[in-house]
Amino acid sequence: MPLYLNDEQTMLRDTVKEFVAEHAPVSHLRHLRDSNDPAGFSRELWKQFAEMGFTGILIGEDQGGLGLGHVEAGVVLEEIGRNLSPSPFLTTAVAAVEALRGSAQAARWYPGILAGETVAALAIDEGAKHRDRVALRAERAGNGFRLSGAKQFVTHGHVADVLIVAARTAGGDDDVEGITLFAVPLDVAGLTVTPERLADSSVAARLTLEDVTVDADAALGEVDGGRTVLDRVLRAGRTGAAAELVGVGAGAMDMTIGYLKQRKQFGVPIGSFQALQHRAAHLYSEMEVARAAVLKAQQLLDAGSDAADEAVSVAKAMTGLATTLSVQESVQMHGGIGMTDEYDVGFYMKRARVLAEMFGDTHYHADRLARAAGY
C-alpha cells in the first residue's frame, strides 16, 4: 500500500482543511477557554461536523453513514489537531462508533451521532496512567447487570449522552479476559460525575458508579468476551489520537516556520541562521516519518490486517515523540514570547501533552512493542 492519500482522500482533506480552518481555528479554542465554557466544546460546531458528513465517516452506508475508513477519519483528526479544535470527534465518531459496531446499541445511538446531537465518552482508565487493568465490577442482577467502581480521564464524560464503560465480569483485575463493555446512559441512577479542567482547557471527568443498573442489551459483544471489542476500540482510539497528534505537531511547526521567516535580528530573518535551519529541517523530517507511521497504521486497520496492532503502537509512540519535539522546538524558537499567553504556540504544547497520555503514552507503547517481541 502506498504511503500517500489517493485522489478521493486528498479531496476530503482539502474540504476538511478549509472547513476546520474557517469554523474552528485556534481563536475558537481561546474563546471557549476565556469564557470558561462548561462543555469544553461547541455543540453548534458538532452539528456542523454532522452536516458535512464527518460524524458518519466510520458508520456503514446501510446505517446512514459514509462507510469510509480510518484513513479518512484520520484526515479529519489531523486538521482538528492542526487547528486545536475542541471536538468530540475522536471519542464519539471514531472510538464509540467502533465500540457500538455490530451491537444492538448501534441502532439506538448511531442516528444521534450522524445528526451531531449525540456525544459519547470512553470510561476505560482507572489510574493516573493508562494501563491494561479493569477493576470496575459488573455483576448480574435480574435481567441485567449492576456496575460498581470508578473511572477517570473520561473526556467529555460530564456532558456525554452515553458512556462506553469497560467492566470486569470475570477473573482478577489484571486478567486479560473476563471484560465486558457496556453502553451506559449518563442519566442512570447511582452515577456521580466530577468534571475537571485539563491542561489544554478541555474537560474530562472522574466517574463513580455505585450499583448502577443496566439492561442485558447494554452489553457490547459477548459477556466476558469484551476484550475483542475493547481492543478494537483502543486500536481506533490510539490511531485517531496519533493522527490528531500529527496535526498538533504540524500546526506548531508551520507556525514556527512562519515566525522564523518574519522575525528579524541584525537586520535579517532569524530563519537565515544556519543553526535554526538545521533544527527546522530535523523537525520536518521527524514529523514526516511520524505521519507515515500513522498512515500505515490506518491502512492496516482498514485492511483488517493482523499487523495492525503493532503498527498502531508504533504510530502512537512515534507521534508522541515527534510532536513533543515539535512543540518544544516551537516554544524555544519563538524565544521568550513563546512562553506568553498572547502567542498561540503554547496552546499546542498543552494539547500535545494531553493527547500523548490518551490511550497510552510513548513509554507504554514502547514497552508493549518490546514485550510483543519477546523482551
**For 26-40, what is each residue's pLDDT tens digit?**
999 999 999 999 999
Instruction: Look up the CATH architecture of domain 228-372.
Output: Up-down Bundle (1.20)
359: left (phi over 0), alpha (psi -120 to 50) or beta: left
pTM: 0.95
Using pLDDT thresholds of 50, 70 and 90, give the confidence band for residue 264.
confident
Q: Cell numbers for 368, please give them.
A: 508493549
pLDDT of residue 3: 82
The structural domains of the chain, with segments of one domain joined by +, span: 7-119, 122-224, 228-372
pLDDT at residue 2 tops 90? no
pLDDT of residue 321: 98
If one looks up domain 122-224 in CATH, what number appears?
2.40.110.10
For the stretch 313-342, pLDDT in tens is 999 999 999 999 999 999 999 988 888 898
Using pLDDT thresholds of 50, 70 and 90, give the confidence band for residue 214.
very high
Distances (CA, A) of 236 to 18, 73, 99, 200, 218: 25, 10, 9, 22, 21
The torsion angles phi and psi of 22, rounded to 5 degrees, stand at: -80, -45
Residues of the chain with pLDDT > 70, as a percent, come to: 100
CATH classification (class only), 7-119:
mainly alpha
pLDDT of residue 335: 87
pLDDT at residue 281 tops 90? yes
pLDDT of residue 348: 96
pLDDT of residue 154: 98
The chain-wide mean pLDDT, for the chain, equals 96
